[in-house]
Amino acid sequence: MSTSSLLRLEHVQKNYGKTEALSGVNLDIQPGRIVGLLGPNGSGKTTIIKLINGLLQPTSGQVLINGEKPSPKTKKVVSYLPDTTYLGDNMKIKEVFAMFKDFYSDFDEEKANHLLEDLNLDEKSRLKNLSKGNKEKVQLILVMSRKADLYVLDEPIGGVDPAARDYILRTIIQNRRPNSSVLISTHLIADVEQVLDEALFINQGRILLHENTTVLRNQYGKSIDEIFREQFRMY
């Protein structure tokens, strides 16, 4: 594998007791790529994401970010959007921004405020008074306003309406740093495939396929969503 990898997983195994969540996972993501981690619910996507963020430890194998195991140092270059909210409902948007500025030295408050203005949201609004879609957008603004090398987004478009999905995908594309990579975990393939450089299919804890999306479309003569449905019909 290339030494310039931004993210590498080498022979990663993760067990929960006797249950095998990941088996022999190898993964190599280079800088400057948007990669879809695509699989049905329960396929191992969130386990991979938690390993990248150091929230879980592999049973065996290793996870490397810029050649280093997950640690406080790697957290400085990884910006993470979990699949559930972790912000207090009573917090005002401006308080959330202040918290992120305290936590992360690379948080660009000016960019965050600019993105907030684009949504016509008041920084004095409390999160509990926002719609589900706008809460998701505020969380995304937090993540994409960091000057990270790797943005890791767990189901960023789940449970929101199509207009919110379009906004979320547009914000990801327009606000990532040059040469940064984005890992998007989702089961909503048709909605994200137009922004992906690479597709990574996972099922039952195993990587089935990892390829450039243009190569896949040319090879199969089909959309990524159609290829995905065909691949998963076999299981």
Q: Does any domain span residue 149?
A: yes
Q: What is the CATH number of the domain that holds 123?
A: 3.40.50.300
Partnered with residue 35 across adjacent β-strands are 183, 198
Q: How far is CA 215 from the centre of its chain?
A: 22
Q: What is the pTM of this model?
A: 0.92
Q: Does any domain span residue 2?
A: no
Report whether pLDDT(2) > 60.
no
Q: Does any domain span residue 114?
A: yes
Q: Does any domain span residue 165?
A: yes
Q: Does any domain span residue 1?
A: no
Residues in the chain: 235
Q: Which pLDDT value is given to residue 136?
A: 87
Q: Which pLDDT value is given to residue 235?
A: 53
What is the rounded CA–CA span in Å between residue 29 and residue 7?
5
How many domains, in total, are found in the chain? Answer: 1
Report whether pLDDT(30) > 90.
yes
3-state helix, strand, coil in the chain (%, to 5): 35, 30, 35
Where in the chain does DSSP place strands (E)?
A: 7-16, 19-29, 34-38, 60-65, 78-81, 150-154, 181-186, 198-203, 206-212
User: Would you state the structure tokens that stand for residue 59, as one six-digit string?
Assistant: 């049973």
Percent of the chain with pLDDT over 90: 74
Q: Does any domain span residue 159?
A: yes
**Average confidence (pLDDT) over 46-59:** 95
Report whether pLDDT(3) > 80.
no
Q: Which pLDDT value is given to residue 100?
A: 95
User: Would you state the structure tokens that stand for residue 217, as one six-digit string?
Assistant: 């479309």
Partnered with residue 211 across adjacent β-strands are 199
- Nearest-CA neighbor of 155 among 147, 165, 145? 165
At 157, the pLDDT band (50, 70, 90 cuts) reads confident
Q: Does any domain span residue 173?
A: yes
Percent of the chain with pLDDT over 70: 98
The residue segments making up the domain with residue 192 are: 7-233
Q: Which pLDDT value is given to residue 1?
A: 41
Q: Does any domain span residue 214?
A: yes
Q: Is 160 within 8 Å of 192 (Cβ atoms)?
A: no
